[in-house]
């Protein structure tokens, strides 16, 4: 007898290629509008589905998990970060959680470098001059930025993405430093000629650029708080393509306004779309709308990972990208 197909609910519009493949394989309910589900829509989905495919815009907390139906057995997140899911509560309720690591590493690292260059080389200011038709020709002193080569880059969080940033930074001639929960193996440090700092305070005080690449967890919340931001050199730049919660956004804004920091390149924000409006007014800040992993290739590969996780689960095994709390 053919096996009954698993019912899968997807909470956001996904690229056509991914939706088509999901529909071929599963009894899937796709989202027809490109807005996040409301809490009650999410609760209904979690009541009725075997498998939920959420994204980072769905806050799946203990309360929602408490309303999940008996049949919900897997939350196959479309994305790498799972800080929006209460993984520990899901586990207590016998619901597995999986994610899509690896496939967005290079895209996110590329965007980190793009932000780093945009801030240090003042690219948005140059663009604005051109767009306004204000360019009066080359001038020896116009829009002088800082040279990237030779600068000290401190990477906060040397996982996959941190290491991909290190690789790129080396190609730009930067000196790589890092702080991580665990020191990397010597051969990896050698590959990037990277210097390990056990003390984050000491590292941030000496860097020209700080790149935030650690996940958002209770222990990384406001790791870059007001006190630590103040340790940075006034000439330093901070870049964040990870999660906004790692930096105290208000403290950062105050420092940028007071020229106590030279600039920031941000792709993520502490309060999601409610970006501190003062940040938007600053010329030394480049803001992007969380597009670090936004390539078509990456988004299709994220879908492929979701499918592998679901299919493996369907076959009675643990999903390869299961997240353990």
Closer residue to ligand DGY (CB): 79 or 154: 79
Using the rule CB under 6 A, which residue among 28, 76, 80, 236 binds ligand DGY? 80
Q: Which residues pair with 240 in a beta bridge?
A: 212, 266
Helix (H, G, I), strand (E, B) or coil at 161: helix
Write down the least CB distance from residue 79 to ligand DGY, Å. Answer: 3
Closer residue to ligand DGY (CB): 81 or 162: 81
Closer residue to ligand DGY (CB): 79 or 303: 79
Q: Which residues pair with 247 in a beta bridge?
A: 224
Which of positions 269-308 make contact with ligand DGY (CB under 6 A)? 292-293
Sheet containing 285-287: order of strands = 195-196, 175-179, 152-156, 209-212, 237-240, 263-266, 285-287
DSSP assignment of 201-224 equals: HHHHHH-SEEEE-PPP-TTTTTSB
Would you say 251 and 221 are in contact if contact means Cβ atoms under 8 Å apart? no
Residue 109 lies near ligand DGY (rule: CB under 6 A): no
DSSP assignment of 84-151 equals: TB-HHHHHHTT-EEE---STTHHHHHHHHHHHHHHHHTTHHHHHHHHHTT------TTTT-----TT-
Closer residue to ligand DGY (CB): 208 or 267: 267
* HSE-CB of 248 using CA atoms within 13 angstroms: 13
DSSP category for residue 246: G
| Helix locations, the chain, DSSP H | 16-25, 39-48, 62-66, 87-92, 105-120, 123-131, 160-171, 186-192, 200-206, 226-231, 249-257, 277-280, 296-314
Size of the site for ligand DGY (CB under 6 A): 7
Would you say 308 and 101 are in contact if contact means Cβ atoms under 8 Å apart? no
Closer residue to ligand DGY (CB): 80 or 307: 80
Closer residue to ligand DGY (CB): 81 or 157: 81
Residue 166 lies near ligand DGY (rule: CB under 6 A): no
Closer residue to ligand DGY (CB): 121 or 160: 160
Closer residue to ligand DGY (CB): 173 or 289: 289
How far apart CA 60 and CA 73 sit, in angstroms, is 14
Using the rule CB under 6 A, which residue among 43, 45, 81, 179 binds ligand DGY? 81
Residue 79 lies near ligand DGY (rule: CB under 6 A): yes
Residues 242-261: x where in contact with ligand DGY by CB under 6 A, - otherwise, as a string: --------------------
Write down the least CB distance from residue 104 to ligand DGY, Å. Answer: 6
Write down the least CB distance from residue 215 to ligand DGY, Å. Answer: 8
Of 9-17, 79-87, 166-174, 307-315, which segment contacts ligand DGY by CB under 6 A?
79-87
How far apart CA 46 and CA 90 sit, in angstroms, is 12
Residue 104 lies near ligand DGY (rule: CB under 6 A): yes
Would you say 23 and 30 are in contact if contact means Cβ atoms under 8 Å apart? yes
How far apart CA 224 and CA 281 sit, in angstroms, is 22
Residue 14 lies near ligand DGY (rule: CB under 6 A): no
DSSP category for residue 322: B
Closer residue to ligand DGY (CB): 11 or 120: 11
Write down the least CB distance from residue 28 to ligand DGY, Å. Answer: 20
Write down the least CB distance from residue 298 to ligand DGY, Å. Answer: 8
Of 58-66, 77-85, 226-234, 315-323, which segment contacts ligand DGY by CB under 6 A?
77-85
- What residue ranges bind ligand DGY (CB under 6 A)? 56, 79-81, 104, 292-293
């Amino acid at each position: 007898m053919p096996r009954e197909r698993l019912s899968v609910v997807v909470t956001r519009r996904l690229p056509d290629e991914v939706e088509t493949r999901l529909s071929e394989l599963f009894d899937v309910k796709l989202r027809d509008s490109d807005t996040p589900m409301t809490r009650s829509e999410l609760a209904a989905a979690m009541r009725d589905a075997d498998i939920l495919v959420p994204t980072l815009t769905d806050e799946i907390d203990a309360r929602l998990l408490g309303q999940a139906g008996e049949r919900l057995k897997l939350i196959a997140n479309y994305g790498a970060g799972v800080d929006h899911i209460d993984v520990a509560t899901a586990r207590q309720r016998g619901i597995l959680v999986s994610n899509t690591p690896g496939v967005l590493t290079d895209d996110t690292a590329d965007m980190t470098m793009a932000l780093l260059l945009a801030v240090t080389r003042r690219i948005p200011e140059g663009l604005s001059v051109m767009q306004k038709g204000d360019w009066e020709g080359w001038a020896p002193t116009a829009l002088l930025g800082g040279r990237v080569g030779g600068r000290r880059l401190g990477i906060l969080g040397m996982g996959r993405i941190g290491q991909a940033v290190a690789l790129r930074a080396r190609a730009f001639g930067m000196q790589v430093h890092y702080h991580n929960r665990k020191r990397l193996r010597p051969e990896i440090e050698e590959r990037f000629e990277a210097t390990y700092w056990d003390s984050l305070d000491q590292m941030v005080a000496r860097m020209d650029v700080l790149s935030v690449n650690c996940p958002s967890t209770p222990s990384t919340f406001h790791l870059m708080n007001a006190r630590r931001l103040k340790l940075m050199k006034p000439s330093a730049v901070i870049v964040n393509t990870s999660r906004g919660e790692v930096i105290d956004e208000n403290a950062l804004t105050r420092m940028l306004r007071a020229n106590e920091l030279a600039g920031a390149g941000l792709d993520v924000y502490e309060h999601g779309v409610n970006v501190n409006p003062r940040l938007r007014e600053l010329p030394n800040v480049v803001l992007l709308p969380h597009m670090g992993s936004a390539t078509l290739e990456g988004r299709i590969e994220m879908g492929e990972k979701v499918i592998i996780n679901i299919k493996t689960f369907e076959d009675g095994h643990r999903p390869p990208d299961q997240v353990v709390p």
